[in-house]
Structure 1
Amino acid sequence: MRWPRRQREAANKKYIEADAWCEEVEKPQESLVDEPDETGWKTSSAQLAGLSRLVCVGVWALVASGPVLGMLAFVSSSGPAQGVTKPVAIATPASPVGPAGFAELFVAAYLQAGQGTERNLAPYYAGSVALAVKSGTRTATQSTVIASREVQPGYWSVTVAADVTAHDYKSKSQHLGVQYFRVGIKATGPAGAGGIEQGAAAGYAATSLPAQVAAPTAIKPGGLAYETDRGSSSADPSVETARGFLAAYLTGTTELDRYTSPGTRFQPINPAPYAALKVTGVQDDSSGSGQRKVLADGTLLHQLVQVDATDQAGSPVSLSYALTLKSRAGRWEVASLDDAPVIRASSPPSAAPHTTTPNPDAATASDSPSPSNS
């Protein structure tokens, strides 16, 4: 390490000054020869010479220690400041997407497999398998994951709902309905793949064959907030607005802007899936069953509209739409196409509805044990 020019020059100056000082103090002092001083002590020239040499050694020690002390000061100043808290890395939560998708594929393969086709399960389960059912007697026409839970780091319990159809030897089919299967999935790789090993390749393996479990507990949602039945009367201004808006939205025959609040933009379905529309019932959250008049500007009205939409082939399709209407200048306008019908709650109907997803793990805990790590 090279010292900066200024520091080198300062150090050389100290050496020169120290050397000159030592030469000066080492010269003989003729006036101080075994003469008593005022205190009565005698001082010899030998004693003074020894003292001067001791002082000189001390000066040289201070000069020599200068660079060392400077280096220590530099190192201590470049170190981390005391009391500064280092940032703590936040652990990324493991994602259930990979284990859930793998479990869904495994359940579909398991339902189709049977005697003689056990090898089709090898990509999912490495254990020894001997199936009693005949191959192809069951199929999952549809399947989806309804619950996934990390029971241990990198180890998941996944519940799959499958719409199962049975086939007999005469090629007759019988719809068995939706059945639920739980399976344990071991995941490797980073947290994004559901594992705990950063930098490792993602991989999955089932720890056992699926276990069929009971359906999740059905819940009854709170009553809907639409307590007034408006029927399909065209005399009600709010019903007329709903009819015109949904006809434009589903058939594309008119512009949506004529039925919507200023600044509100809706994207119609394109291409239009239906050729005609008929309103079969309207419910709203107003009070009173008589014909509803348009109230003061800014008043909100929540509607649930039932329609029969006729497709291009002439077949009717029944649909339901939740709308929020807003009054302005003596007319009703559509302010929003709601994500879900409003249910009664302690909060006003304009608040966003709260939904609860049933947990099949809790519902079926007594029906079958969770798979264990093998």
Structure 2
Amino acid sequence: MKRQRRPRKAAKKQFVEAEAWDDEVEELQEVSADEPDETGWKTSTAQMAGLSRLVRAGVWVLVVSGPALGALAFLSSSAPAQGAAKPVAAATPASPVGPAGFAELFVAAYLRAGQGTERDLAPYYSGSVTLAVKPGTRTATQSTVVASREVQPGYWSITVAADVTARDDKGKSKRLGVQYFRIGIQAAGPAGDGGTEQGTTAGYAATSLPSQVAAPTTLKPGGLVYETDRGSSSADPSVETSRGFLTAYLTGTTELDRYTSPGTRLQPISPAPYAAVKVTGVQDDSPRSGQQKVPADGTIQHQLVLVDATDQAGNPVSLSYALTLKSRAGRWEVASVDDAPAIREGSAPSAAPHAPTNTDAGSVAPSPSGS
């Protein structure tokens, strides 16, 4: 009912305006037809009457069409734009986390299993399996996933590195070293679980027993920016700052604030794992190896510091730290403990000579029968 009242009020208003216009026109008609206007033209009574009728007709057209025009405007404003593109949901990339974890568990179970315990592999691989090795002959002391690749949607190739220990008939254990195993894993479930189906429960299955493969290519790292060797001289102000900072950082014997730049937020390791720290070598990116004087304020220097930290039992532990130092008020201060040593721009790793060992090829994994 409210929508109908508004057009009526608007129509009434337009009708009143039309009546007022007619009155003005009738007043103009009373002007003598023979009396010229300011422009020199003469207006007859008939012409004025015709004009009045034309104006009145136009106003009534507006009155009658007002509600329709209002409805049309409302519909036009509420209708969606034809040219607007509908948002397309971005596809969620499949995650290798689930298949990788499943493969790592499978490799550990596979290395432990043997003749008579093939059923231990059933949660991972449903094919027919016959193992010749004695159970418990091999074990993985630790393992981790080193590579994962989606062969096709929902199907993954996972490579697991395992540190393998073997036990002989006399029960003597021997470390065989790190060996690498590749497994095909099918995943069911959403992309976040490595699969392709939405709204389903995640599940995994190996398509065969593991295949032992060669180790990844050994690489030589690219060049670092630390080209100046400062040794462990305590006479160098930058080395002295690094020594004091790392001693405080690793032993907790002093506050870090005395060695850090204003605004730097660093916390010592707690509880302190070491009782003493000895600097064994320092390299930095300074252009002059013999520089002893602290340069102008704001100068940045990158350091790679090698230390022997003595633990609470008296055992020395070798560690390295990448630090960024900044000069202020005639002294060096630690601005940050860097996430990784800095490499030269454009530097890339290169293949290093590598002699094959028996841990690369290893023994051939037993083949499944009837798979």
Does TM, scored on the shorter chain, surpass 0.5? yes
CA distance in 1, matches of 2:71, 2:104: 65
CA contact (8 A) 1:94 1:194 kept: yes
CA contact (8 A) 1:222 1:345 kept: no
Which ranges in structure 2 are unaligned for 5 or more consecutive residues?
Answer: 9-69, 351-359, 365-370
What displacement does 1:200 show?
A: 0.4
CA distance in 2, matches of 1:76, 1:243: 75
Name the residue aligned to 2:253. 253
* Letter of the structure 2 residue corresponding to residue 245 of structure 1: F
Do the aligned partners of residues 284 and 263 (structure 1) sit closer, same or farther apart at CA in structure 2, a change above 3 Å counting? Answer: same
What displacement does 1:224 show?
A: 2.2
Name the residue aligned to 2:276. 276
Name the residue aligned to 1:114. 114
Do the aligned partners of residues 250 and 82 (structure 1) sit closer, same or farther apart at CA in structure 2, a change above 3 Å counting? Answer: same
CA distance in 2, matches of 1:91, 1:259: 49
* Letter of the structure 1 residue corresponding to residue 181 of structure 2: F
Do the aligned partners of residues 355 and 220 (structure 1) sit closer, same or farther apart at CA in structure 2, a change above 3 Å counting? Answer: closer
* Letter of the structure 2 residue corresponding to residue 136 of structure 1: G
CA contact (8 A) 1:158 1:183 kept: yes
CA contact (8 A) 1:103 1:160 kept: yes
Name the residue aligned to 1:328. 328
Stretch deviating more after TM superposition (253-262 or 291-300): 291-300
Name the residue aligned to 1:222. 222
Q: Deviations over 1:314-363 (max 9, x none)?
A: 1111111111111111110001111111223349xxxxxx889xxxxxxx
Q: How does 1:186-335 map to 2 (within 5 A)?
A: 186-335=186-335
CA distance in 2, matches of 1:308, 1:301: 22
CA distance in 1, matches of 2:107, 2:247: 42
CA distance in 2, matches of 1:3, 1:74: 15
* Letter of the structure 1 residue corresponding to residue 248 of structure 2: A
CA distance in 2, matches of 1:310, 1:227: 28
Name the residue aligned to 1:145. 145
CA contact (8 A) 2:298 2:328 kept: yes
CA contact (8 A) 1:179 1:212 kept: yes
Q: Deviations over 1:253-282 (max 9, x none)?
A: 000000001100101100101111111111
CA distance in 1, matches of 2:208, 2:185: 9
Name the residue aligned to 2:18. none
CA distance in 2, matches of 1:5, 1:111: 83
CA distance in 1, matches of 2:315, 2:72: 89
Name the residue aligned to 1:174. 174
CA distance in 2, matches of 1:5, 1:299: 78
Structure 1 residue 342 and structure 2 residue 348: aligned? Answer: no
Which ranges in structure 1 are unaligned for 5 or more consecutive residues?
Answer: 10-69, 348-353, 357-363, 369-373
Q: How does 1:21-36 map to 2 (within 5 A)?
A: none
CA contact (8 A) 1:140 1:162 kept: yes
Q: Deviations over 1:282-319 (max 9, x none)?
A: 11111233243211111111111111111111111111
CA contact (8 A) 1:306 1:319 kept: yes
State the Cα RMSD in Å. Answer: 3.0
Work out the number of aligned pairs and report it: 296
With normalisation by structure 2, the TM-score equals 0.73
CA distance in 2, matches of 1:281, 1:72: 83
CA distance in 2, matches of 1:337, 1:5: 74
CA contact (8 A) 1:247 1:276 kept: yes
CA distance in 1, matches of 2:179, 2:116: 24
Q: Deviations over 1:218-269 (max 9, x none)?
A: 1111122212211111111011000000000000000000000110010110
CA contact (8 A) 2:219 2:349 kept: no
Q: Deviations over 1:94-151 (max 9, x none)?
A: 1111011001101111111111111000000011111121111111111000111111
Q: Percent identity?
A: 80
SS of the equivalent of 1:197 reads: coil
SS of the equivalent of 1:120 reads: helix
CA contact (8 A) 1:167 1:173 kept: yes
Q: How does 1:19-168 map to 2 (within 5 A)?
A: 80-168=80-168
CA distance in 2, matches of 1:73, 1:280: 82
CA distance in 1, matches of 2:288, 2:4: 95
CA contact (8 A) 1:264 1:335 kept: yes
Do the aligned partners of residues 71 and 291 (structure 1) sit closer, same or farther apart at CA in structure 2, a change above 3 Å counting? Answer: closer
Name the residue aligned to 1:45. none
